[in-house]
Chain A
Amino acid sequence: DTGVSQDPRHKITKRGQNVTFRCDPISEHNRLYWYRQTLGQGPEFLTYFQNEAQLEKSRLLSDRFSAERPKGSFSTLEIQRTEQGDSAMYLCASSLRQGVADTQYFGPGTRLTVL
């Protein structure tokens, strides 16, 4: 399977704990995006990378959130001191930056539940 993969698929944690999610994009894709989706809503942009550079972060991404893409391949999203409001589906997407607009390919998501 050469699609976008995410790990874990589900994570249940207690409030105050730290969690880390991983995204493996399609191998030749140079752009990687993180989105968050709460129940009944469309996804919201969190941050994106071009190769290893993090080019933009949403205001939704508080200081408790950090994302990395150290070698321009896989990416991690860490949430420190989780809160119940962090419960959501965290989606990763990747694309190959070629022209004016790119198709983004989505992973299956990581569903986070903070108790």
Chain B
Amino acid sequence: GENVEQHPSTLSVQEGDSAVIKCTYSDSASNYFPWYKQELGKGPQLIIDIRSNVGEKKDQRIAVTLNKTAKHFSLHITETQPEDSAVYFCAATMNTGFQKLVFGTGTRLLVSP
């Protein structure tokens, strides 16, 4: 089955810096890769996703890149703000319509003012 590894487990940056979180996956059949943000005391919420036919996707200050050959994908947050502080999860799945996600172990991002 699919296995997703996520690094780093914690990441501390200064406000305005960029943050990068990396994930690798094992199953070459996986073709959908979402990123979820979890704020304290809440459930995870989808912030961006990418499909295997695309190498990069941007949405304002966040972007995701995908390298299918190397089986890794990354989340990039630019101009970080204190409200970006949260736990971020990557996930992978075969986009067969059954939406059974395999999640990484999470990265706690702390943005200091």
A and B, one complex?
A: no
- Please give the residue numbers on chain B whose beta carbons come within 8 Å of chain A beta carbons, in ascending order: none
- Please give the residue numbers on chain A whose beta carbons come within 8 Å of chain B beta carbons, in ascending order: none
